[in-house]
Chain A
Amino acid sequence: MRYVDEFRDPALAAALIREIEGVAHRLERGRDRPFAVMEVCGGHTHAIFRYGLEGLLPDIIEFVHGPGCPVCVLPMGRVDDCVAIAERPEVIFATFGDAIRVPGSRKSLLAAKADGADVRTIYSPLDALALARRHPDREVVFFGLGFETTMPSTALTVLRAEREGVTNFSVFCNHITIIPTLRALLETQDLGIDGFIGPGHVSMVIGTEPYRFIAEEFGKPLVVAGFEPLDLLQALLMVLRQIEGGTARIENQYARVVPDRGNPQAMDAVERVFETRPVFEWRGLGSIERSGVRLREAFARFDAERRFAVPEISVADPDACRCGEVLTGKVKPWACPMFGTACTPEMPLGALMVSSEGSCAAYYQYGGVRQPHADATPHAPKSLEATA
């Protein structure tokens, strides 16, 4: 096991922060709004809050928490579909831990479990396959979830199930892809993002090449970053230096893990098992073309959507929720009227409040040090009151 202290050295962090302050100071002149840098990945959002990074940066820099938490962008109807599958008596429904509390329109998987559904938390899709082997008389359905980060492990598990002739295993596929989503985001009107911190784990699989259009077509810098505080600070500095230099390139801060061309074996498994869906719905963002995948026809017997009568429910988000605007960085979580009142980690309305990677949950749990005053919102949660 490799430990991570070398990427959390306070002295190195202080030096990076001084450099960031220097660049920010030079950029600040004549600027009437902060430089908005979107960290695409929920893991980055989590790290920013966990280490209190925002409070250490000059006011002219603002992190915008992007759509890269796969649990947070799962539409309510898909959760309802999950619950419908999980409630079938023959099914063992296997899911990653942070998906279990995401609210559907009727209930979450956790509530379905309390009502008698056999829902199990697992750490890897291979655990679900092992469950299928141990329970040959049951149907084990794996809740396939995540970006390109987790897609290869689902694909390899399907290939293994095929190789071993396992017949009682299937995947309810909700895997999504980051590139079409970034494009849709960039094509949004009035998107005030000055640069991007790119997702480390996703890039480990797809490499850095697919991001090239962000610089070339949209003129925005993107730096792929790791998940340690020093990674994030260094990546931010790299983005700011590009802004200062008037350039827009794709850079790789996370080269110790991310090869520019990604992982061909992982991509090959993904390519063999999955095909692009014409359209996939995202919570808060609506339908995005070619942004999700499903199992290819050749693997139809492992596809839970084909094996079971999935209701394919489509449910609109509650009117008052502003998940979409939070996801695209247009408003901060506390600007949502539901935040901290109707929507809390105890009783989440929106998925951004459920996953520890969701920006609402992160603001609620860790306290947004940048929120100007508690009285800026009439319903500030307790953790934000404390920061005023």
Chain B
Amino acid sequence: MNAPTSAPLRAPRRALPQTITLAHGGGGTAMRDLIEVVFVSAFATTRDQDAAAPLEDQARFDLAALAASGDRLAFTTDSFVVDPLFFPGGDIGKLAVCGTINDIAVGGARPVALSCAMILEEGLPVEILRRVAVSMAETARAAGVPIVTGDTKVVARGACDKLFITTTGIGVVRTGIEIGIGRARPGDVVLVNGLLGDHGAAILDARGDLHLDHTIESDCAPLHDLVAVLITAAPGVRSLRDATRGGVSAVLNELAEASGVGVRIRELDLPVRPEVHGFCEILGLDPLYLANEGKLVAVVPADEAAAALAALRAHPLGREAVAIGEVVATRPGRVVMETRFGGERIVDMLVGDQLPRIC
């Protein structure tokens, strides 16, 4: 893939109706107009015009070019449903692009291209769809990862909630990079790249139930550059995970279980924004379980921890990176938190969603 162009959005050739109807999923001219006007014009800006075959059902890649940059293909897919569609710091489109780039990146791969499938609810305002598509395109363009193919379906009103997006990504893993959830060893250091829980708090806040004084912004961001910097500084990095649903707690529990080790973290070292901290206090939530969309948990060998931390902190998305704990041989499969008073507690996986307490 070549560098993306920055061509401006093309003006619609035909006027579109204001809302999505079932006709936009029917395979006829209405659907073609929608795809051309909303998606093709936006996504074309994310990629080299010559490589684009916007109205075909697949993108085609030069295998030799891919093989030259690594020895394994990384492949991932994820669906995005969020209420509200637009929230401080992002929207469903930005989330869909960042989320899939991050899933590729935490495998140690360089993301190459994305696909995008849209499920639209009948009655969705076209303007909302256009805003989402533009946001996806801007995010993909800034990240240097083109959106090369896609699909659109329309379902009857009530069959989905406004707009669902599935993004699939491919990437290439450089020769020699070995990263996996089962590779942590006692003595390794656990790092995070910044403040925890912003996305989860932003979404709850954006639903408008609490009317907080401070707006909390989602941390939604593509992490592939940060991962590249980290891997260069700490080539022995054992494990990387983006801490999305279930938060850091879910990542650490999966790590402990898959690697057959214990993880010990320190409450005092967990980086949490004061606003998020206060928000969690009000609702009886724990930031360790809140979703993030721009945070990763990295496990690195102890002798590379200082270099890894320095590299993370030198990157804009890792300025607040810290070591939050260690991998230990005791209590395999468990995550234990040392509380700020020196007490300890188990940090278990969450059952379902966190539920705000009654009082």
Give A residues with C-beta under 8 Å from B. Answer: 1-4, 8, 10, 13-14, 17, 43, 46, 49-56, 70-71, 96-101, 121-123, 127, 145-147, 149-150, 201, 229, 345-346, 355-357, 364-367, 369, 382-383, 386-387
Contact = CB atoms under 8 A, between A and B. Distances in A.
B281 A4 contact: yes
14 contacts: A4-B277, A4-B278, A51-B343, A52-B341, A53-B341, A55-B344, A97-B358, A98-B358, A101-B352, A121-B356, A123-B283, A149-B359, A150-B358, A386-B334
B357 A43 contact: yes
Interface of B: 209-210, 212-214, 268, 274-275, 277-278, 281-284, 286, 331, 333-334, 336-337, 339-346, 348, 351-352, 355-359
B209 A1 contact: no
Given A122-B209, A387-B346, 17 more contacts: A2-B278, A14-B341, A17-B341, A43-B359, A51-B340, A53-B343, A71-B358, A98-B355, A98-B356, A101-B355, A123-B209, A149-B359, A355-B357, A365-B348, A367-B348, A369-B345, A386-B336
A346 B349 CA distance: 11
Given A1-B212, A356-B355, A383 B340 contact: no
A366 B351 contact: no
Nearest to B358: A96
Contact of A369 (B214, B283, B286, B343): B343
Contacts of B212: 1
A101 B353 CA distance: 11
Contact of A99 (B209, B352, B358): B358
A46 B344 CA distance: 14
B276 to A, nearest CB: 11
A369 B302 CA distance: 29
Contacts of B281: 4
A365 B359 contact: no
B342 A145 contact: no
A70 B359 CA distance: 9
Q: Name which of A13, A123, A364 has the most chain B CB atoms within 10 A of its CB.
A: A123
B340 A8 contact: yes
B357 A357 contact: yes
A10 B340 CA distance: 6
B115 to A, nearest CB: 31
Contacts of A98: 355-358
B202 to A, nearest CB: 15
A122 B356 CA distance: 9
Contact of B358 (A4, A55, A145, A386): A145
A75 to B, nearest CB: 17
